Amino acid sequence: MTVSTRPEATVAGDVTVIDIALPRMRVQLLSLGAGIREVEVPDREGNLGHVHLALPTVADHADRALNPHLGTTLGRYANRIAGGRFTLDGRDYELDVNNGPNTLHGGTLGWDRLIWEVADLGESDDVVTVEFTLTSPDGDMGFPGTVHARTTYVVSPGQIVMHYAAHTDAPTVVSMANHGYWNLAGSRSIDDHELQVPAQRKLTYDEQQIPTGIMDVDGTVYDLRQTQTLRPLLNSTGGLDDCYVIDGEGLRFAAELAHPASGRRLSVHTDAPGMQVYSGNNLRAPFAVHQSMSLEAQRMPDAPNQPSLGASVLRPGEAYAATTVIHFTVA
């Protein structure tokens, strides 16, 4: 096992690059967005290959025009908040709008666009722990309260665990998530991948991708409880950008992405209530449409405006915490 760090100058400031080499696995993390840049895992022949989209250079990742949140920690609130506003305890808050009339992933300078502090880096018995911290001031992108956030990666052979934590000095809303872009073949399309999401229900949406309700997937093209090949699914839907309701409590199975030709499999377990399944519908050069699959474990989009969708509020004295586990295997 080897772990190395180095600074890289970018337009956002100096980014700490952390390279982790484990038996049969390599991972690169960035302090920019407390994110994953590269992951290499073996195929059934034992050949390491890249399975996460990355721009050519670290500096490119700091270019907001090029980087669609690649592998980053989303916050202060992952996904969309309708109209760029919400009301909390009788007070209205106007947010930064960056997705039509809506706020997406915390606004133009959400947490994925900021440089986090590397608060801790530890190594022990083929396990590497990296802790990133960030302080988001009151009024950041319009959100109330000063929030202290932490993203901790625990990387071991074949596994990446992500722990999220936050606390606040005033009532606010928080939803943290990782926006990975996975392609288990290192190819230009995921249409030869297979996907399973063991969810009975998913959100319905309006034309701006704001939730309008919850539907049962039974008998629809969105039923992924049994493994589906992505090519016909992408052809019939035009691409997925849907939040599935992951029933149950605690850490539980939420999705599996597989590439039969290479044998690589990626499974996701999480204690989050939702899983945004996004098939890279809006990817642009140097990437291609439908080149990746994102499996974003999170609280429900627009829950600050629609409390019936689930929890979104964090108050002083409370602790926000969430965990997602990504496990790589070979069939």
| Annotated catalytic residue 8 | no
The per-residue pLDDT for 115 is 98
The per-residue pLDDT for 312 is 98
pTM above 0.85, yes or no: yes
Domain edges within the chain: 2-330
The per-residue pLDDT for 5 is 97
The per-residue pLDDT for 163 is 98
| Annotated catalytic residue 256 | no
Q: Given phi > 0 = left and psi -120 to 50 = alpha, else beta, which region is 271?
A: alpha
Contacts of 24 (CB under 8 A, 6+ apart): 41, 42, 46, 48, 157, 158
The C-alpha atoms of residue 163 and residue 326 are separated, in whole angstroms, by: 12
Contacts of 232 (CB under 8 A, 6+ apart): none
The per-residue pLDDT for 172 is 98
| Residue pointed to by tokens 């440089």 | 115
> Which residue numbers in the chain have pLDDT < 70?
none
Please count the other Cβ atoms lying within 10 Å of the Cβ belonging to residue 58. 20
Q: 195: which 2 tokens?
A: 């996907």
Check if CATH label 3.30.750.24 holds for domain 2-330.
no
The per-residue pLDDT for 195 is 98
The per-residue pLDDT for 100 is 96
The C-alpha atoms of residue 250 and residue 138 are separated, in whole angstroms, by: 31
The C-alpha atoms of residue 160 and residue 152 are separated, in whole angstroms, by: 10
The per-residue pLDDT for 59 is 97
Q: 108: which 2 tokens?
A: 């133009």
Q: 289: which 2 tokens?
A: 């449409």
Q: Which of 61, 69, 105, 179 is catalytic?
A: 179
For 191-206, write each residue's pLDDT tens digit. Answer: 999 999 999 999 999 9
Measured between its terminal Cα atoms, the distance across the chain in Å is: 25
Query: Distance of alpha carbon 319 from its chain centroid, rounded?
Result: 20
Question: Residue 294's closest CA among 268, 329, 320?
Answer: 268
